[in-house]
Amino acid sequence: MRLDGILFFPLTPFDAAGAVHEDVLAEHVADGVARGAGAVFAACGTGEFHALDGAEHERVVRTAAAAAAGRVPVFAGAGGPLPHAVACARAAAGAGADGILLMPPYLVAAPEAGLVAYVREVAAATGLPIVVYQRDNARFTPAGAAELARIPTVTGFKDGLGDIELMQRIIPAVHAATDGRDGAAKDFTFFNGLPTAEVSAGAYAAVGARLYSSAAFCFVPEVALAFHRARAAGDDERVRRLLTGFYLPLVRLRNEVPGYAVALVKAGARLRGLDAGGVRPPLADPHPKHLAELELLVSAGLEIAGEGR
């Protein structure tokens, strides 16, 4: 399954009682697809995977798949304890997902062989394509990444570490492991999964990972699309203006408080009129002064993108 364009990681809206608001989620996903998202990654990091129980996870994936209506691929988050990761992967297949984004087994420090075995067990539980998410305690050497790529249903590698030198070594190792000597070459995708990935998109593209996840697309799709198109057209001046006028100040604000990589995005969506609710603990909604800064940033970004408020 070939991925292209902006990778959309929708929020998980909650209603006033704290339950998943499926109608708002369907609106959010449908709008993102209509605006040009290349794929939807539901119940993942921006969608507060960590805060969803099994039944909620399945509802989020089912709602996203229905809203996408086959227009673009829908990937579902899975991860955490192995039984939970397996259950999420199986449920996602039944809910209409086209693939899995496999996140780390949180809080467990493990050798690489154990991490590879973790991926193998999830892969054995579902026939869906799997993108492995390297971040936090799930770190791979080039040899380990190549071993992952030999698992038939592992078709992608998302990096959330930001170690460009490591990625420069991983990508050729994976290509060598999947070069098709015994048949057709495997279609394998790499992408940048750092928070506010637009800031590092150029560096990742230089080593062969041209795709990136865009949290900004959740609340300022106009800005995210303007950036994506400017990069594709080689419009370096517009890229620079969007980085300096919107993305870099957003990163500074994001770094003010742990968890703002999600909380600010959800707050931004509320500012733009999406009834997304707040974040669930242990995340916390932004401080009023930070909300005021975010509102100014949204206006600045839209102005640069040429859309107005």
Positions marked active-site:
133, 158
CA 118, 196, 68: angle at the middle one, nearest 5?
70
Per-residue H/E/C for 168-232: HHHHHHHHHHCCCCCCCCCCCEEEECCCCHHHHHHHHHHHCCCEEEECHHHCCHHHHHHHHHHHH
Pair 84, 102: CB distance under 8 Å: no
CA 144, CA 276: separation in Å to the nearest integer?
39
What lies within 8 Å, CB to CB, of 191 at 6+ separation is 3, 7, 131, 156, 157, 158, 159, 204, 209, 210, 211, 212, 213
